[in-house]
Homo-oligomer: A and B are copies of this chain.
Amino acid sequence: MQYQSDRFDLPDAELRCLLLFGDERYLTPKGIAQKLNVVKSRVTKIINGLIKKNLIQKIKDPEDSRVTLLSITADGRQKTDDINLFLSGIHYQVLSNIHPENRTDLLRNLEVLKASLESVKELMA
């Protein structure tokens, strides 16, 4: 993650947040908090950073003035495009280093590991 921060002049959390706008037109702090799995007050700070950098903008929901609607700006769109391009490149490279005949096997094994870890996590909750 350090790479991304340095490369794109964005703290890690802001980068992750910005990328959420690829999927949806408008996001609310509450929704972002859920997606990023952090608390709302944290989202406030992240958002402020992105607004200060002119990557997203904020309007009030006309339906319910308690809620804030966040949308990405043109600058922000440019930035996410750059980031996604970079990430795709990495993903492609990682993939190309793994022989095609090993890939399904690898994925299956990762699932096995994941399932095991999650079941232990269950036990501890």
Contact = CB atoms under 8 A, between A and B. Distances in A.
A102 B112 contact: yes
Given A90-B124, A94-B120, A102-B109, 9 more contacts: A94-B117, A97-B116, A97-B119, A98-B112, A98-B113, A102-B112, A105-B109, A106-B112, A109-B110
Q: How many monomers of this chain does the complex have?
A: 2
Contacts of A97: 115-116, 119-120
Say whether chain A's binding surface is mostly helix, strand, loop, or mixed: helix
Interface residues of A, number: 21
B123 A93 contact: yes
Interface of A: 3, 90, 93-95, 97-98, 102, 105-106, 109-110, 112-113, 115-117, 119-120, 123-124
B102 A120 contact: no
B109 A93 contact: no
Most buried by B among A90, A97, A124: A97
Nearest to A124: B3
Contact of A94 (B90, B93, B98, B116): B116
Contacts of A95: 116
A113 B95 CA distance: 9
